[in-house]
C-alpha cells in the first residue's frame, strides 16, 4: 500500500481534532473556568459545611454568581467560607447564605437570598445570617432514634 500525503494529512487532522476534544472535555469536567479576580469578596461562617468544596458554585435564584475560593477554620471552631462573586452585585447587608444540596445526594453549593436592607455589603464584609448544611445521615438517625424512643416497650408475648 502506497503512502498518500492527502490521507496522512487527513489522519493527522483527525487525531489532532480528537486530542483537542479530549483536552476540552478534561478542562470542562475539571471545572476550570476563567473567573474575574477582584470581584466582590465576601465570607460567611457556618457550623457545618458537610462536603462543601473549594470552587463550589454560589447561586442566587438558581443563577451562578460566583464560587467558593477558600475554606478555613475560625478561632471559634466554625467553618469560614470565602467567596468571590461578580463585582456588579449589590447585596443587602441582611443577605442570607445557606448550604444546600443539588438533588438528594448531589454536590453542595451556597445559595444566597438577598434581604431588604438599604445598607449594601462591600468587598471584605462577612455575611451574618447563615444556615448550615443539613446532614441526611443525622436526620435519619434522629428519626430512627426518636421513633424507637417513643415506642412503648412490651414484654415478649404481651398483647397490647
Q: Is residue 146 part of a domain?
A: no
pLDDT of residue 31: 63
Q: Is residue 6 part of a domain?
A: no
Mean local confidence (pLDDT), 43-71: 92
109-115 LR contacts (CB < 8 Å, sep 24+): 109/52, 109/56, 109/57, 109/58, 109/59, 110/44, 110/52, 110/56, 110/57, 110/58, 110/59, 110/68, 110/81, 110/83, 111/58, 111/59, 111/60, 112/58, 112/59, 112/60, 112/65, 113/60, 114/60
Domain extent, residue 120, equals: 40-136
Q: Is the pLDDT of residue 9 over 80?
A: yes
pLDDT of residue 86: 92
Q: Is residue 114 part of a domain?
A: yes
Q: Is residue 152 part of a domain?
A: no
Q: Is the pLDDT of residue 125 over 80?
A: yes
CA 90 to chain centre: 21
Q: Is residue 17 part of a domain?
A: no
| Sheet arrangement for strand 126-127 | 126-127, 40-46, 79-85, 63-73, 57-60, 108-113, 96-101, 129-131
Binning pLDDT at 50, 70 and 90, where does residue 65 land? very high
Q: Is residue 8 part of a domain?
A: no
pLDDT of residue 156: 59
pLDDT of residue 102: 83
Q: Is residue 44 part of a domain?
A: yes
Q: Is residue 155 part of a domain?
A: no
Q: How many domains does the chain have?
A: 1
Amino acid at each position: 500500500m502506497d503512502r498518500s500525503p492527502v490521507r496522512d494529512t487527513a489522519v493527522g487532522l483527525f487525531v489532532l481534532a480528537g486530542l483537542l476534544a479530549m483536552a476540552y472535555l478534561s478542562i470542562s469536567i475539571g471545572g476550570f473556568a476563567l473567573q474575574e479576580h477582584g470581584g466582590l469578596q465576601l465570607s460567611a461562617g457556618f457550623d457545618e459545611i458537610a462536603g462543601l468544596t473549594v470552587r463550589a458554585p454560589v447561586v442566587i435564584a438558581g443563577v451562578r454568581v460566583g464560587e467558593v475560593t477558600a475554606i478555613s477554620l475560625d478561632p471559634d471552631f466554625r467553618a469560614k467560607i470565602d467567596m468571590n462573586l461578580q463585582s456588579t452585585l449589590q447585596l443587602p447587608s441582611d443577605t442570607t447564605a445557606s448550604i444546600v444540596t443539588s438533588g438528594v445526594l448531589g454536590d453542595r453549593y451556597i445559595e444566597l437570598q438577598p434581604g431588604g436592607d438599604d445598607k449594601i455589603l462591600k468587598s471584605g464584609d462577612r455575611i451574618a445570617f447563615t444556615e448550615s448544611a443539613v446532614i441526611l445521615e443525622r436526620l435519619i438517625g434522629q428519626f430512627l432514634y426518636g421513633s424507637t424512643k417513643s415506642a412503648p416497650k412490651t414484654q415478649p408475648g404481651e398483647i397490647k
